[in-house]
Each structure stands twice: as C-alpha cells, then as structure tokens.
Amino acid sequence: MHNVAHRGYSAVAPENTLPAFAAAVLGGATLIEFDVRTTADDVPVVIHDRTLDRTTSGSGHVWDSPYESVAALDAGSWFSPAYAGVRVPTLAAVLELLTEADLLLEIKPPATLPQVKTILELVGAAGARDRTIVQSFDPEIVRLVREVDPVVRRGLLRLRFEADTLDLADELEVVCVNPSTADVLGDPRTVAALTARGIDVMAWTANDMAEWAPLSESGIAGLITDRVAELTGWIAAR
Ligand code: G3P
Ligand code: CA
C-alpha cells in the first residue's frame, strides 16, 4: 500500500514547499503528491489554493501574479516561524529536488492546453515522466493531459463518487481514481468496481489513525496523508 505524502510531509513542514518534500522522502513516503498552478506569466508553481492568501505573505489569485512577485513571498511563516523565508517552489525546483521519488502531480483548474503542455514538458525534461502520475479533479484537464501526452499515467480525483465515476474512469483510461476517505469507507461497491477494472484507488486525506485499518482493509492502493512518518511506522508495525 502506498504511503502518499499529501502536499509533502505537510504535518511537519509548510505544505507544497521544498522542506515538506524533503521531509516526505525522509519520512518514508512511497509517492509524493503536490499541486501545480500557473502564474500570470506562465510559470508552473507548486501551491494548493487558488489564491496566495492562506499559505503566503501575498494575496490575490495565483494566475494574476507574475512569477517574480510569487517568488518574493514568504510561504513558510504561516506554518511556523521556523520556516520563515521558505518560498513557493517552481515545478522545476520540485522536480530538481525529487530526482528519485515517484510523484502524484495534481493540476489545479483552471489550466489551458499550453499550460498543461508546459507542465508535461518540465516533467519530461526532468526525466520524471515514467515515475509520475498526473491527476486532476477536472476531467477536462485529464483529457488535456492525454491530448498532450497519451502515454503518461493519468489519475482522476473525485470530491464524491458521483454516478459517472466509473464511466469517466473508463473513458479517460486512468490508472487511479482518488476519492475521499469517507467515500472509500461508505461505498465499498464502487471501490470494488474500480479495483476489478485494474484501477487503483487512493483515499484522501487519511490523517485519522483510527481509519487506517478499515481503509487498508478496503482493498485500496494507497493512503494520501499529511502524517507520512506516522503512517510509515504504522505500516511497519502491522
Ligand atoms: O491527492 C488528493 C488530494 O490532494 C486532493 O485534495 O484539495 O488536497 O488537493 P486537495
Ligand atoms: Ca492535491
């Protein structure tokens, strides 16, 4: 079962930053998840929210800010003074750090075809194509990924197991469908239908240790968690 570092080891370092990714490797993650958005001047950066407000010293939409402005922001102090001065990383910087790790790269909407192309070119240039799954909540973005690179592995994120989940998974030819922990625990039939098709299911965000046993017994392929080293220890002790 994969131990997926959600936004890096985000329980101990500010999410989606280089320290969080370095900690994820040290903590035993087998797959590292992060979120990609594109700045106003078309630089892919790694940040979760649509706006800069929650996790940086800046404000406003990521897509309205030029990279030079984003690069100057403090993306660590909101988490702890110990991380003051940590920056929003570019996708290129994350790929340069994670030269060995398997990656779960989420493209956040909105994303255009040229932006998806730039993201996949960076993945390819870093030699990471074969160890990356590219996922999105937005089926249109998954389609764009396939249009740009039909071979790179794709994943579909779901807020809920909607009625169209199985059809979408088939149509998009994804290797994984990643729903909430609540959906995995509440809808074993859909989990079973996906796994019977050879499609992996990885649940987010598995931070409650009391759920780790029932989740791991549900047949899923991975737990996407903020608590990477804790999950490493839990898996080792099983
Ligand atoms: O990969 C699963 C998880 O990252 C999806 O939710 O909002 O944390 O991007 P979110
Ligand atoms: Ca994500």
Cβ–ligand 1 distance for 178 under 6 Å, the answer yes
Q: Tell me, yes or no, whether 191 lies in a domain.
A: yes
Q: Tell me, yes or no, whether 113 lies in a domain.
A: yes
Task: Note if 6 is an active site residue.
Answer: yes
Give the number of domains in the chain: 1
Beta pairing partners, 46: 36
Cβ–ligand 1 distance for 95 under 6 Å, the answer no
| Sheet strands (E) in 39-102 | 44-46
Cβ–ligand 1 distance for 35 under 6 Å, the answer yes
| Sheet strands (E) in 141-211 | 153-157, 176-178, 200-204
Q: By alpha-carbon position, which residue is closest to atom 10 of ligand 1?
A: 48
Distance 82 CA to ligand 2 centre (A): 24
Q: Tell me, yes or no, whether 80 lies in a domain.
A: no
Marked catalytic residue, from 2, 6, 108, 227: 6
Q: By alpha-carbon position, which residue is closest to atom 5 of ligand 1?
A: 204
pLDDT by residue for the chain (238 residues), tens only, comes to 999 999 999 999 999 999 999 999 999 999 999 999 999 999 999 999 999 999 999 999 999 999 999 999 999 999 999 999 999 999 999 999 999 999 999 999 999 999 999 999 999 999 999 999 999 999 999 999 999 999 999 999 999 888 899 999 999 999 999 999 999 999 999 999 999 999 999 999 999 999 999 999 999 999 999 999 999 999 999 9
Q: By alpha-carbon position, which residue is closest to atom 7 of ligand 1?
A: 48
Cβ–ligand 1 distance for 6 under 6 Å, the answer yes
* Angle in degrees, CA 133, 127, 221, rounded to 5: 25
Marked catalytic residue, from 2, 7, 37, 48: 48
Cβ–ligand 1 distance for 136 under 6 Å, the answer no
**Which has the closest alpha carbon to 75: 48, 98, 102?**
48
Distance 5 CA to ligand 2 centre (A): 10
Q: Tell me, yes or no, whether 231 lies in a domain.
A: yes
Q: Tell me, yes or no, whether 159 lies in a domain.
A: yes
Give the tens place of pLDDT for each residue, 83-123.
999 999 999 999 999 999 999 999 999 999 999 999 999 99
What is d(CA 41, CA 65) in angstroms, rounded to the nearest whole number?
Answer: 8
Q: Are 47 and 35 in contact (CB under 8 A)?
A: yes
Distance 78 CA to ligand 1 centre (A): 20
Q: Tell me, yes or no, whether 187 lies in a domain.
A: yes
Residue 25 belongs to domain with CATH number? 3.20.20.190
Q: Tell me, yes or no, whether 118 lies in a domain.
A: yes
Give the domain range for residue 149.
2-50+90-237
Return the ligand number nearest the Cα of 176.
1
What is d(CA 56, CA 47) in angstroms, rounded to the nearest whole number?
Answer: 10
Structure tokens given for 169 = 């998974």
Cβ–ligand 1 distance for 34 under 6 Å, the answer no
Distance 204 CA to ligand 1 centre (A): 7
End-to-end CA distance of the chain: 12
